[in-house]
Amino acid sequence: MKETDLPYLKNTVSDLPLMTDDAIKDQFLSTGQIRKHKKGDLIIVAGQDSYEPSILLSGLIRVFFLNVEGVDVTNLFIFENTYYGSDFLTMKKASVCSFEALEDCVSLVLDRQVLNETLQNNIHVLLDYTRILEQSLNNKILRENALITKSATERYLDLKKTYPHIEKRVSQTHIASYLGITPVSLSRIRRVIREEN
């Protein structure tokens, strides 16, 4: 990593978990690598690539898988200042999902060994890491619950509440896939909401 990148990166990641201690932040930044991906690039291919502990600094990533019929299903959107690969940050294990850059992306890839050693030697970083995992698990449970207990309209409104500008950044096809509906159904839901308002 270039020395000139460090002040920008320190400022960008300073509020993130794992990065609250200056010495540890410096260690993660000095051993990490900046990785760039163009819109449309596959960052991780399911079954082929392992997760690398990363922070998305800019851009937007879609996580998806193919169901038994071979249909592309969006599982997650990763926005700026978010760790990704959080379920396998410390393990070198093949991903079960593919990751696609929906915009030009810049990520900070952390050194897995440095992260592991820091987690073993610093209780504060370990607690931050635990909170990241708990938040990831909580989001997964809430999403699964919503797919079972909420209507498509409720899921759409929840998504818009969580990410108010998502429709400016994500195609209707990917949003519909995430909601578990067709793009035609999503158009119908949006039309009904507009007419009601």
* Contact call for residues 109 and 35 (beta carbons, < 8 A): yes
Residue 87 is classified by DSSP as: G
pLDDT tens track for 162-192: 999 999 999 999 999 999 999 999 999 999 9
Distance CA 125, CA 133 (A): 12
Is residue 186 included in any domain, yes or no? no
Name residue 84's beta-bridge partners.
54
Any residues with CB less than 8 A from the CB of 9 and at least 6 apart, and which?
1, 29, 57, 108
* Residue 8 lies in domain: 3-128
Is residue 7 included in any domain, yes or no? yes
Is residue 123 included in any domain, yes or no? yes
The DSSP-derived string for 130-157 is HHHHHHHHHHHHHHHHHHHHS-HHHHHH
CATH number of the domain encompassing residue 93: 2.60.120.10
For the chain, what is the radius of gyration of the CA atoms? Answer: 18
- What's the pLDDT at 15? 82
Using CA atoms, how far residue 65 sits from 68, 130, 180, in Å, is: 10, 26, 13
User: Strands 72-78, 82-84: parallel, antiparallel or unpaired by DSSP?
Assistant: unpaired
Is residue 166 included in any domain, yes or no? no
pTM of the shown model? 0.87
- What's the pLDDT at 18? 85
- What's the pLDDT at 86? 46
Any residues with CB less than 8 A from the CB of 48 and at least 6 apart, and which?
94
Mean pLDDT, 10 residues at a time, the chain of 197 residues: 63 83 88 94 85 90 91 93 69 80 95 91 92 89 94 96 94 96 95 89
Is residue 93 included in any domain, yes or no? yes
6-25 core/surface letters (b: 16 or more CB in 10 A; e: else): eeebeebbeebbbbeeeebb
Distance CA 166, CA 169 (A): 5
Is residue 55 included in any domain, yes or no? yes
- What's the pLDDT at 13? 85
In sign, the C-alpha dihedral spanning 108, 113, 116, 120 is negative
Is residue 30 included in any domain, yes or no? yes
Is residue 61 included in any domain, yes or no? yes
- What's the pLDDT at 155? 96
Structural domain count of the chain: 1
